[in-house]
Structure 1
């Protein structure tokens, strides 16, 4: 019955979709993979588990059709106490459970976090196309950061446009992972030529 009501509620779904799209970046990215365009309203806790949450605003996220229909589907792992084992990107910082390895493009759980492991598994965060996309984004982001920094130093008005283009790019999680690098390892990971730009970006676009 909940699914039937949700299917018929076209006006409500349009309202929810517009609100979610206003909260996303750039070209309306999927809130799970940050790669594809978000096209589907996903019930974070599936209707099969919680039919009464069909129209509950905190239970709605914008996902691409792949993440919604092929990866997550109706999966909703919980622990022995019924607590969800998925990272809810609208309610908690994913960095508390997930770590992005910049040079490999792979995610790994932080400190063997069960929630991190289950999130990687359920959403397929390490599927090959996402790994390649993050690796490409790593090299692209370093170049854009250096370009942005040079333009800032030259007082070039296009610096802001470069910064916005970077923020609107897919896989912005790569840039956030770079920001979180400790100074002692930043040079090794991003290269010493990128460190000044990264430090300037961190100061202006801190998390």
Structure 2
């Protein structure tokens, strides 16, 4: 998982969400539920929410939890079943794949027994690196906190072998692309270098490249041992490049 910068809701979306909240009052009085309003009475709001979430998502509209599959669902971080009042709260919406949303998370929302603090990572509200470390050798996550442990468990981040294999493949791909990108940079082939930089940014499992950057910056002795000289040199240049990543979205 990587941190996601949430785009502030534009006025049109804010107004539409308020309209949906008003509709909830009317529909509930008629015997319907908040979920009914979300499912059948919020078409415009959901369209606008999805557009913003897709802009925020890593790579090519990837799931904000597993980073593998395309984000197809609007997930309520705090589920409607537990917090119906947050059904139309922009800060409660994340982009997820159908497997993470419908097969795994569903209405799961573990909380600390004493403090009530949620024990799932919201990547738009905190840096997952405060709770999780991706070990490049195994391409599995190591949890440093209880929140990290619960997030790995709920989303099967280490148990789903397709995710581990995918991160492993991405690690191999990133090393190759970085080395070739560096060659293009050195040769002054700007167009080719830009194409490879875009390919690096759009890889699934964005956490892999981020873990490589962190290793270089935070544990240089490990980076020298882990990366062969062409990749190591390329990664140094990549970290120094001001345009290696897209411009961040404005924070709320």
TM-score scaled to structure 2, two decimals?
0.79
Gaps of 5+ in 2: 1-32
Aligned mate of 1:84, from 118, 123, 132: 118
Q: What SS class does the counterpart of residue 65 from structure 2 fall into?
A: coil
Indicate the residue corresponding to 1:150 in structure 2: 183
Q: What SS class does the counterpart of residue 204 from structure 2 fall into?
A: coil
In the aligned structure 2, how far is the partner of 1:27 from the partner of 1:160?
Answer: 17
In the aligned structure 2, how far is the partner of 1:118 from the partner of 1:24?
Answer: 22
Q: CA deviation at 1:77?
A: 0.5
Q: CA deviation at 1:40?
A: 0.2
Gaps of 5+ in 1: none
Q: What SS class does the counterpart of residue 143 from structure 1 fall into?
A: helix
Q: CA deviation at 1:202?
A: 1.1
Aligned mate of 2:212, from 165, 178, 189: 178
Q: CA deviation at 1:180?
A: 0.4
Q: What SS class does the counterpart of residue 42 from structure 1 fall into?
A: strand
Higher Rg: 2
Tell me the number of residue pairs that the alignment of Structure 1 and Structure 2 aligns: 205
Q: What SS class does the counterpart of residue 121 from structure 2 fall into?
A: coil
Aligned mate of 1:3, from 31, 35, 39: 35
Indicate the residue corresponding to 1:97 in structure 2: 131
Stretches of 4+ aligned residues off by more than 6 angstroms? none
Q: What SS class does the counterpart of residue 69 from structure 1 fall into?
A: helix
> Aligned pair 1:114/2:151, yes or no?
no
Aligned mate of 2:193, from 159, 166, 181: 159
In the aligned structure 2, how far is the partner of 1:44 from the partner of 1:20?
Answer: 13
Indicate the residue corresponding to 2:107 in structure 1: 74
Indicate the residue corresponding to 1:53 in structure 2: 86
Does the aligned pair in 1 maintain the 2:75–2:95 contact within 8 Å?
yes
In the aligned structure 2, how far is the partner of 1:40 from the partner of 1:120?
Answer: 20
RMSD: 1.3
Q: CA deviation at 1:160?
A: 0.9
TM-score scaled to structure 1, two decimals?
0.95
